[in-house]
């Protein structure tokens, strides 16, 4: 008996660590797990660090005071297990704005980390007043600098600054954009800033507009060093998706062009911005929401670095599909989003994954459990060649972040369906 108790004594700490980010191995090629069951975890994102470790972060509530904060967890084995989540107090007050202003985290070549996030100005009289802030870590995320304002040219707390995106630039600095309301127009405009070494963001300037007031932006830097930005414009009531780029790390930008001439006019903000990614062959993939000429999500491709775009293809006719994200796998795009399934009391949010080729949709598969609400999915490609999908799922006592590793060596729709549905 003593031997059994002694073994249990040594096993209990190990079992606790594994429970922090546990996974169920369903087959040799498919793993599902739960990353966080904290205080209302939401809006997961993930990235690789220079060390090769996988970092996941999300928003949640501080159990002591209910404030929104960012939490993070690290995996050293390609998402098979995750470390115990740690909250970042310096992000207290982070505002995700309907899931359209996700806190952005980027690592520089020197391995320093920069997080850019939106925060509501609670002391302001204007209900939409907010600031874009940033923090830096020079020790791998163990400690963070105090939050500072990105838009140093406008620190008026009554003005609106929100809906951030950020990416690593070709010169090793970090560029960020946001929607800015300082000019008190009937639309927002887009501002840009980039870091200056460890000094952080020291200058910001207007680069575009008019823009929709509250839809997310997407930005990336491709292998040639070109910076691409896509956003929802707003001209004469039309809220179509726009794209423009910079070949000099954000000093100058091309004239914005429409990804698709939808002509969607609506006297309200849809809170539903575009997603963009680029394949190794240089193709740009776009996905966005529209109610013009059909309702739901649409997809387009550019094979000439954003100079022109293919005719749009509808990939979802769900009128409330939102939160799209994209990744590429070979010559195909893999998209995730959430939508509403069912009617009345039987209606549930569900997170879905779709495979898209040049001709359109191949297959859409649910990620979240059929009897649970699922939303805010995200997806990335692992170094192993698998996909990692994360989403939020409701439980009887709150919500949790779920994840699934998906083997995509075969992207035939029937094979993919088997993989995703395996339990």
Instruction: Kindly report the backbone phi and psi dihedral angles of residue 8, in degrees, each rounded to the nearest multiple of 5, phi listed first.
Output: -65, -40
Residue 303 within any structural domain of the chain: no
Angular region, 344: left φ>0, alpha ψ -120 to 50, beta rest? left
89 with 215, same domain: the answer is yes
For the segment 10-37, the average pLDDT, to the nearest whole number, is: 52
- CA distance linking residue 256 with residue 28, whole number of Å: 46
Q: What is the pLDDT of residues 268-292, one digit of tens each?
A: 889 999 999 999 889 999 999 999 9
In terms of residue numbers, what domain contains 333? 283-293+319-423
326 with 259, same domain: the answer is no
59 with 208, same domain: the answer is yes
Q: What is the pLDDT of residues 25-83, one digit of tens each?
A: 443 345 678 887 678 999 999 999 999 999 999 999 988 888 999 999 999 999 989 99
214 with 95, same domain: the answer is yes
193 with 81, same domain: the answer is yes
Q: How confident is the model at residue 362 (pLDDT cuts 50, 70, 90)?
A: confident
Q: What is the pLDDT of residues 104-122, one digit of tens each?
A: 999 999 999 999 999 999 8
Which range (25-29, 226-230, 384-388) has the least confidence?
Answer: 25-29
Where is pLDDT greater, at 38 or 98?
98
Residue 406 within any structural domain of the chain: yes
260 with 287, same domain: the answer is no
Where is pLDDT greater, at 207 or 269?
207
Where is pLDDT greater, at 92 or 63?
92
Looking at residue 373, its pLDDT comes to 94
pTM of the model: 0.90
The alpha carbon of residue 330 and the mean position of all alpha carbons in its chain are separated, in whole angstroms, by: 21
Looking at residue 203, its pLDDT comes to 96
400 with 262, same domain: the answer is no
231 with 330, same domain: the answer is no
Give the chain as a 3 state SS string: CHHHHHHHHHHHHHHHHHHHCEEEEEECCEEEEEEECCCCCEEEEEEECCCCCEEEEEEEECCCCCCEEEEEEEECCCCCCCCCCEEEHHHCCECCCCCCCCCEEEECCCCCEEEEEEEECCCCCCCCCEEEEEEEECCCCCCCCCCEECCCCCCCCCCCEEEEEEEECCCCCEEEEEEECCCCCCCEEEEEEEECHHHCEEEEEEEEEEECCCCCCEEEECCCCCEEEEEEECECCECCEEEEEECCCCCCCCCCEECCCCCCECCCCCCCCCEEEECCCCCEEEEEEECCCCCEEEEEEECCCCCCCCCCEEEECCCCCEEEEEEEECCEEEEEEEEEECCHHHCEEEEEEEEEECCEEEEEEECCCCCCCEEEEEEEECCCCCEEEEEEEEECCEEEEEEEEECCCCCCHHHHHHHHHCC
Residue 300 within any structural domain of the chain: no
Residue 187 within any structural domain of the chain: yes
- CA distance linking residue 30 with residue 409, whole number of Å: 12
What percentage of the chain carries pLDDT values higher than 90? 73
Residue 235 within any structural domain of the chain: yes
Inform me whether the pLDDT recorded for 176 exceeds 70. yes
238 with 326, same domain: the answer is no
Q: What is the pLDDT of residues 299-316, one digit of tens each?
A: 999 999 999 999 999 999
Residue 8 within any structural domain of the chain: no
Last residue of a domain, one of 211, 241, 273: 273
Which range (9-13, 82-86, 253-257) has the least confidence?
Answer: 9-13
For the segment 366-383, the average pLDDT, to the nearest whole number, is: 93
Q: How confident is the model at residue 23 (pLDDT cuts 50, 70, 90)?
A: low
Instruction: Kindly report the backbone phi and psi dihedral angles of residue 417, in degrees, each rounded to the nearest multiple of 5, phi listed first.
Output: -60, -40
CATH of the domain at 242: 2.120.10.10
Structural tokens at position 258: 């429409």
Q: Using an 8 Å Cβ cutoff, are 325 and 218 in contact?
A: no
Inform me whether the pLDDT recorded for 212 exceeds 80. yes
Looking at residue 24, its pLDDT comes to 53
Where is pLDDT greater, at 205 or 19?
205
Beta bridge partners of 55: 47, 74
Looking at residue 361, its pLDDT comes to 84
256 with 288, same domain: the answer is no
Last residue of a domain, one of 245, 273, 301: 273
**Please, what sign has the CA dihedral across residues 172, 224, 327, 52?**
negative
Q: What is the pLDDT of residues 334-361, one digit of tens each?
A: 999 999 998 888 889 999 999 998 778 8
145 with 287, same domain: the answer is no
Inform me whether the pLDDT recorded for 181 exceeds 50. yes
For the segment 166-177, the average pLDDT, to the nearest whole number, is: 98
Residue 106 within any structural domain of the chain: yes
**Block residue for tokens 């009391």:** 345
The alpha carbon of residue 382 and the mean position of all alpha carbons in its chain are separated, in whole angstroms, by: 16
Residue 164 within any structural domain of the chain: yes
43 with 183, same domain: the answer is yes
Number of folded domains that form the chain: 2
Last residue of a domain, one of 273, 308, 336: 273
């Amino acid at each position: 008996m003593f031997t059994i108790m002694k073994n249990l004594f040594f096993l209990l700490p190990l079992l606790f660590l594994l429970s922090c980010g546990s996974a169920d191995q369903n087959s040799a090629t498919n793993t599902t797990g739960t990353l966080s069951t904290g205080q209302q975890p939401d809006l997961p994102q993930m990235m690789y660090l220079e060390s090769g470790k996988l970092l996941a972060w999300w928003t949640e509530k501080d159990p002591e005071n209910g404030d929104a904060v960012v939490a993070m967890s690290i995996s050293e084995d390609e998402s098979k297990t995750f470390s115990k989540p740690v909250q970042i107090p310096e992000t207290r007050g982070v505002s995700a704005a309907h899931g359209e202003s996700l806190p952005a985290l980027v690592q520089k070549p020197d391995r320093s980390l920069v997080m850019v996030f939106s925060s509501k100005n609670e002391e302001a009289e204007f209900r939409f007043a907010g600031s874009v802030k940033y923090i830096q870590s020079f020790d791998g995320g163990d400690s963070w600098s105090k939050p500072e304002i990105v838009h140093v040219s406008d620190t008026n707390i009554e003005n609106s600054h929100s809906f951030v995106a950020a990416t690593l630039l070709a010169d090793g600095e970090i560029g960020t954009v946001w929607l800015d309301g300082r000019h008190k127009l009937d639309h927002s405009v887009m501002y840009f800033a980039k870091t200056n070494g460890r000094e952080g963001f020291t200058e910001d300037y207007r680069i575009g507009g008019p823009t929709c007031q509250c839809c997310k932006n997407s930005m990336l830097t491709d292998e040639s060093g070109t910076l691409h930005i896509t956003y929802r414009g707003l001209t004469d009531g039309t809220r179509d998706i726009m794209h423009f780029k910079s070949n000099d790390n954000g000093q100058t930008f091309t004239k914005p062009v429409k990804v698709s001439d939808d002509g969607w006019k609506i006297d309200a903000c849809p809170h539903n911005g575009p997603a963009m990614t680029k394949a190794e062959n240089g193709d740009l993939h776009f996905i966005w929401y529209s109610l013009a000429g059909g309702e739901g999500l649409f997809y387009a491709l550019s094979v000439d670095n954003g100079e022109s775009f293919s005719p749009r293809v509808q990939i979802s006719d769900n009128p409330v599909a939102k939160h799209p994200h994209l990744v590429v796998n070979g010559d195909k795009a893999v998209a995730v989003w959430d939508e509403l399934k069912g009617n009345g009391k039987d209606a549930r949010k569900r997170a879905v994954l779709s495979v898209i080729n040049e001709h359109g949709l191949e297959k859409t598969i649910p990620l979240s459990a059929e009897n649970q609400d699922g939303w805010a999915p995200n997806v990335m490609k692992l170094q192993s060649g698998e996909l990692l999908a994360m989403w939020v799922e409701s439980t009887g006592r709150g919500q949790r972040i779920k994840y699934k590793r998906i083997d995509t060596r075969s992207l035939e729709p029937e094979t993919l369906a088997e993989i995703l549905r395996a339990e």
